[in-house]
Chains A and B, each alone.
Chain A
């Protein structure tokens, strides 16, 4: 079970900010992204989103383990 967090335009398209996926871990972020889109449909811009695993930026190659929280971070626009 992994927790997925979505923000901004991604959350708006998905109609949700938070989703749990039952996945056989370890999985790669790319596999998580595919699962997510199978479940929610195509999310425009998700391929440009950065990834944070447990609140830290992570590379796409990082392996996800059970209990991780994965956030898809669209291009930021604070300030």
Chain B
């Protein structure tokens, strides 16, 4: 059972959730990222995601390790889909279980923020009036260290 994977298939949310449920978990926080139609004035027709798959899976695993360090009882599973996605399709599902709810909420948020920083996955928008590769969603011009670093909390 892979806790961290990149797939070309439809994501089954329940499968991701089931990976983190165990007898000492009292909470599971699930984040699901879906394809949005309108971004400001721009209308998305569909999206294309690509990934550097082996490295992306390693980086997802690394996010799992970071979560483990910050919230030692947490268990994390992440599946990110690549390929062509239609409006409302699920692009990413993150499940984090912890003994108590507060940590689960925080850790699942941490996971999605880190995905947007360090995981080599790219999104190409196909708008009603053109197409573009999206990058730098966080608006950071350059990584100060020449590479993504840990989030300073």
Residues of A within 8 A of B (CB): 5, 7-9, 12, 48, 50, 52, 55-60, 71, 73-79
Does B123 belong to the interface (CB within 8 Å)?
Answer: yes
Select which of B91, B123, B143 is within 8 A of A50 by beta carbon.
Answer: B143
Residues of B within 8 A of A60 (CB): 146
Q: Provide the main secondary structure of the chain A interface.
A: mixed
Q: Contacts A50-B148, A59-B147, A71-B120: A79 and B33 contacting too (C-beta < 8 A)?
A: yes
Stretch in B8-16, B17-25, B97-105, B109-117 touching the partner: B109-117
CB-based A-B contact count at 8 angstroms? 84
- Chain B residues bordering chain A, tally (CB within 8 A): 33
Q: Complex formed: what's the CA distance from A78 to B120 in Å?
A: 7
> CB within 8 Å of A: which of B73-125?
80, 91-92, 112, 115-124
Select which of B58, B91, B120, B142 is within 8 A of A73 by beta carbon.
Answer: B120
Q: Mark B43-69, 1 if CB is under 8 A from A, else 0.
A: 000000111101110100000000000
Tell me if B52 and A71 are in contact (CB < 8 A).
yes
